[in-house]
Every structure is written in C-alpha cells, then in structure tokens.
Homo-oligomer: A and B are copies of this chain.
Amino acid sequence: MKIIKAGITAVKGIKGQGIHAGFKKNKLDFTIIYSERICTAAGVFTKNKAAAAPVLLDRKFLSDGKAQAIVCNSGFANACTGEEGMNNALFTAEYASEKLGIRKENCLVFSTGIIGIPLPMDIMKNAIDTTVPLLESSNSASENIANAILTTDLVKKEIAIENDNYTISGITKGSGMINPNMATMLCFIFTDADVSSNILEKCLKNSVNKSFNRISVDGDTSTNDSVVVLANGLSNVKVDTIDKIESFSKALDFVCVELAKKIARDGEGATKLIECECVNAKSQEDAERISKSVIDSSLVKSAVFGEDPNWGRIIAAVGYSGAEMELDKIEIYLGTLRVVNKGIGVSFSQEEAKKELQKECVKIIINMNLGNFCSKAWGCDLSYNYVKINAQYHT
C-alpha cells in the first residue's frame, strides 16, 4: 500500500468537475463525480432523527448496492425542508441522471450548508447543465471537486493510495470543532477494485467506526453526515478471498483514518492535531468512551494550545467519560513522557513536556491498567481567540 500524489480522479474511469454555481457568494459550491462503469456502492449515514432529504433519498437509492454518480452542492443542506426538500432532492437526481445518461437510482445526491432553507432549484438546474459537459479526469478537476464540497473548512481534504494493483481515492469535508453538532461531514471514496456491495458495506461500516466516529466532529449528529464508497472494478482486481478482503479493509481503514485526521486538524483556529490513545481499558466501549471524552474536552484542547502539561484536565475527562476506572491505576503519557502514575502526578521535565506539546501532532496516551482494550481518537486544540479565558486560566 502506498500513498500517491493524486486526487479523486486518480481512480480508473472516474471523471468529475467542481464549479461556482451560485449556492454560495463566490466559492466553488457544486460538483459532479461520475464513473464510466456502474459501481457497487455502500454508504453510512447520520443517525440524526431529522436526517436531511438527500440522506433519506440516498439510503433508498443504495438499497440495490449500486451507484454511478455523485452530485453535491454546498451552501444549503436541504435539511428540515419537508416534502419540498424531498422533491428537490429527487428532481436533482432525475435531472442530473438524465443529463449523464444513467439511471436516476444510480445518482446519489448530497447537500451541505444551512439547514431549513429550500434548495434554489434554478441554480441547481444551471449547475448541472454547466457541469456535465466539463467532466474530466485531470488534476485540476480533482482539485475543483475537493474544493467544491467545503463549507467552513480552510483546506481541501483528499487522499489517494495504491494497494494490490488497484487504487482508492477519497475526499472529505468537515467543519469547526466548536461542538460535534457543528459538523456536516461528507466523504466520497472511489476505487477501481472489483468488490461486491456486501463486502464494501461491511468494510465501510468498520472503517467509519475506526475513523470518522473517533473525531471530535462526530458523524452521528448532523442532519447530513454521509460517507459513501463506490467501486467500479475497472482495475480488474477481484477482492473476493479472505486475504484480499483483509488487505482491502486495511487500505480502506487507512484512507478513512487519514481523511478523518484531516478533518480534525482543520478545526476552526486549530494549530495542532491531538491524538488520544486509550490502552488497557476494561472494554472496547470504555476505550472508545475515554479517548473521545479526552478529545472532546475543551479544557484539554486549550491546555494543548497553551502548551500547558495540565494532566489533571485529562484525568477529569476520563472521570466523567462513564467508563470504568480505578484512579490509582491510571498512567498518562504526553508522547513518550510519563506525567501521571497511579493516578497522581509524577515529577517530569517541563521542557520535555513543552516539546511534546509543541509537536504538530500531540499524542496523549492513557493506560487504564484494567483490561486489554484500546482505542484512538483525534481532535484539535482550541486556539487563543477561541478560548482566551480558558487557555490563560492555568497560568
């Protein structure tokens, strides 16, 4: 498995384009991504009970495990828009699929942006008319596509890898780290591997749980969160043996984790990525609870920003995580530096601690010494302007 310098169109048979259609004032805000051959496909969607119209439609469209194109606008989420919203999502799929010459059920639609305002369908129609003739596999097209799905993101987020003679490429968008509910997280993954939709679905669920569900921008909460993977098989590499499936699954994990980390790193005002690893927890659920609780803690985030080895805030976050703990068994490390043993602080070099906290990726390791379950979670620090009072509190 190796990372290649390329975008979403690195996968055989994938074309697309991103344009400024007018959903937003002056940024790229619309994209179509198209596969020459019909793909097997799987998706993981938000659990929010107010799920957006495109989510409801895509769930239906994916029931046959097939897809061929992705149509996505940013600026408006088409969430909480009632029947009109469903009609607009359906019309978008119908109109785009007609222009692309594919079945409408194979045209997945996505929206991200403001909740509760109907999609401006005149802009949508023009967007589709304008974009379809522009589809191509160039790097510039890849770049436009990755940029067109962003909302408050500061940078585009893409990755492409080669594995077992096939390619996997993905793009994603997140948003601020203010609160999990900030996020509409979208992720589109393509591969030219030949994978059945059942295997795709199993692998994707597994990968999402290890990646997008482990960042502070949480996949469960927004009305529009969606992760889809499409496989067109054009590499002619069949993923059908246990070994090949395992290898594909690992490759998909890698793609999802890297994209999830890019979302975490791009939190508003973030200056660093934080990785929290919980080891030796009593159960898998506890390990995940603990690593996420620490990553979600504004006090920990701001301490990391302030380069303040305030381990007490880490223990507090473990304490209210709901996980089983024995305070006098807990060890905490900043990178390789142990700062807590048996639940209380040990003397350590402030300079070394500062060095660990100045790294581009700050690692917090929590050893519960209770069992053998582990989990990682990712977030970002809170920048000075964002939590002035908080970052200064300790000093």
Q: Report the Cα distance A79→B77, complex, angstroms.
A: 44
Closest to A269 in B: B389
CA distance A151 to B299 in the complex (A): 15
| In the complex, chain B residues whose CB is within 8 Å of the CB of A48 | 316, 319-320
Known contacts A50-B319, A181-B299, A319-B49: A389-B80 contact under CB 8 Å: no
Contacting pair B49 A320 (CB below 8 A): yes
A311 within 8 A of B: yes
Q: For the complex, is A115 an interface residue (Cβ under 8 Å from B)? A: yes
Q: Could you say which of B77, B116, B182, B298 contacts A181, with CB atoms under 8 Å apart?
A: B298
Q: List the B residue with the shortest CB-CB distance to A388.
A: B385
Chain A residues numbered 27-66 whose CB sits less than 8 Å from any CB in chain B: 47-51
Q: Chain B nearest CB: distance from A193 CB in Å?
A: 34
Q: Which of A142-150, A220-228, A369-377 contacts B (4 or more CB under 8 A)?
A: A220-228
The answer to the question of A297 belonging to the interface, with a C-beta cut-off of 8 Å to chain B, is: yes
* A320 with B221, Cβ < 8 A, contacts A80-B343, A178-B390, A385-B385 known: yes
B181 near A317: Cβ-Cβ < 8 Å? yes
| Residues on A facing B (Cβ under 8 Å) | 47-51, 77, 79-82, 84, 114-117, 151-152, 176, 178-179, 181-182, 220-223, 268, 296-299, 302, 310-313, 315-320, 325, 327-328, 342-345, 382, 385-390, 393-394
Knowing A223-B319, A317-B181, the reply to whether A114 touches B394 (Cβ < 8 A) is: yes
Say how many copies of this protein the assembly contains: 2
Q: A80-B344, A310-B116 are in contact. Are A50 and B315 (CB under 8 A)?
A: yes
Complex contact A49–B327 (CB within 8 A) = yes
Which residue of B82, B152, B317, B387 is within 8 Å of A343 (Cβ)? B82
Chain B residues positioned under 8 Å from A114 (CB to CB): 310, 312, 393-394
A-B contact pairs, 6 of them (CB 8 A): A77-B312, A80-B312, A116-B311, A176-B387, A178-B387, A221-B320
A318 and B48 alpha carbons, distance in the complex (Å): 9
Picked from B178, B325, B387, the residue with its CB within 8 Å of the CB of A49 is B325
Contacts of A84 in B (CB 8 A): 344
Pick the most buried of A117, A268, A344: most chain B CB atoms within 10 A of its CB: A344
Contact B344 A50, beta carbon cutoff 8 Å: no
A82 and B115 contacting across the interface, CB-CB below 8 Å: no
Q: Is the CB of A79 within 8 A of B316?
A: yes
A343 to B52, CA, bound (A): 12
CA distance A268 to B389 in the complex (A): 8
Minimum CB–CB distance for A371 against chain B, Å: 16
Asked if A316 and B268 sit within 8 Å, CB to CB, the answer is no
Looking at the assembled complex, report how far the CB atom of A339 sits from the nearest CB atom of chain B, in whole angstroms: 9
Beyond A49-B325, A80-B311, A222-B316, list 14 extra A-B contacts (CB 8 Å). A51-B319, A79-B316, A82-B342, A114-B312, A115-B316, A151-B393, A178-B298, A178-B390, A179-B296, A181-B296, A181-B297, A220-B320, A221-B320, A385-B385
